[in-house]
Copies of this chain bind each other. A is one copy, B any other.
Amino acid sequence: MLRPSAKSLPEHARGRNRSLVLQTLYRSGTLSRADLARATGLTRVTISDLVADLLAENLVVEVGQRDESRPGKPATMLDINRGGFQIIGIDLSDYAVFRGAVLDLDGVVLQRAEVPLDGAVGVDASAKVVALAERLVGAASLPLLGIGVGSPGVVDLAGTVLSAPNLGWPSGGSSGEPLQATLAAATGLPVIVANDANAAALAEHSFGAALSDMMLVKVGHGVGAGLIIGGTALVGSRFAAGEIGHVVVGTDGGAACACGKHGCLETWLATPRLDAALAATDDGPDGAAERTAILRRAGERLGIALAPVVGALDLAEVVLSGPVELLDGPLAEAAIETLRMRTMAEFHGDLSLRMTALGQDIVMRGAAAMVLSGQLGVS
């Protein structure tokens, strides 16, 4: 049963058209009003009206006349005010440090900052996040559009972390760590908090070359995933979509996991386990072959775990994020081979699996993309 959905007012339509203009400008770079009218299907009159609003809010600027020489009155070109705002993105997914950055509207990192975690949990961890955010707010050289945070664990739509064991959240027996509310109160800025893997998936979708049905698998101390379905992030019935780290893989046992089960995806794929297994090999050519075998086995397990998901969701693309030296090679090759072998070639023949091109900054940039989407409607 659906809950009674919301009524729809004309002003909502206005808001969507406003976002449509911003989004078109964001993607295409500079356009004239007439260009926008052609691109959106709205009339020049309506575009002029919307653009007037956006100019007044300083979100859009006029950038002179069109260079190219054409018949008719020369067009005055518009663009998103790219030099007018900045965004703060924060990545809490590393087990040792909180990373953050000031980014521009195109998701380019302008200035970095980080705070060592030093084993802080609960309220201490929250305090470190707030301190990092405030430092970054001070470091910004332009008005800020907002703060985006990618946190490990389960995060609800209000930006409350419901469960992040490694960070000791929620702390003190509360039902959730209200990170979004805390940061908003501390900085007075719009704040969006979401799961780290979901943020990464959004980054890949916004700044990478990702299609609109995609899964991003983030491998680190744990293993998580973010899903983009039809261009929007999947949240799940309990905000736990993408939590595949503790799904058991295969029917042949496996190592014991911290969660109490055996053969979880994390026991095959998490970086500490992989590093330990690789370190136990020797230096000679035999060792090299063994290391390749270890990585291939991990990739196979990933393929085994993903096959039902790829089949059920009819995904076109799987993207990996994490240590390149571990993932990008035998592991990724074995994963895509396994995936192809275990799904229906007829449907998923053009399935692709690749590393992200966004590197270490993917969560921060995804956090920035969330702000962009939340404040401007650009996605």
Contacts and interface: CB of A to CB of B under 8 A. Distances in A.
A219 to B, nearest CB: 15
A42 B7 contact: yes
Contacts of A9: 13
Contact of A316 (B10, B237, B259, B305): B237
A379 interface: yes
Contacts of A250: 250-251
Given A2-B212, A8-B20, A24-B4, A247 B347 contact: no
A346 B163 contact: yes
A314 interface: yes
A199 interface: no
A315 interface: yes
Contacts of A326: none
A39 B5 CA distance: 10
Given A17-B7, A231-B2, A307-B247, A237 B42 contact: no
Nearest to A303: B248
A341 interface: yes
Given A39-B4, A42-B7, A259-B344, A309 B312 contact: yes
Given A163-B346, A313-B241, A343-B247, A20 B39 contact: no
A244 B211 contact: no
A120 interface: no
Given A40-B4, A237-B315, A309-B312, A246 B343 contact: yes
Interface string A1-44: 11011111110110011001001100100000000000111100
Nearest to A300: B251
Chain multiplicity (copies)? 2
A229 interface: yes
Contacts of A129: none
A238 interface: yes
Contacts of A309: 308-309, 312-313
Given A227-B312, A231-B2, A313-B236, A341 B7 contact: no
A42 B12 CA distance: 14
Given A242-B312, A250-B251, A306-B308, A7 B40 contact: yes
Contacts of A23: 2, 4-5
Interface string A246-287: 111111100000010100000000000000000000000000
B5 A20 contact: yes
Contacts of A12: 8, 13
Contacts of A2: 23, 212, 231, 379
A332 to B, nearest CB: 18
A367 interface: no
A154 interface: yes
A313 B213 contact: no
A331 interface: no
A54 to B, nearest CB: 16
A365 to B, nearest CB: 16
Contacts of A8: 12-13, 16-17, 20
24 contacts: A2-B212, A2-B379, A4-B40, A6-B41, A215-B312, A234-B313, A235-B314, A236-B315, A238-B316, A238-B347, A238-B348, A240-B314, A241-B312, A242-B312, A242-B314, A243-B312, A243-B314, A243-B344, A244-B311, A247-B312, A251-B251, A259-B344, A261-B341, A308-B309
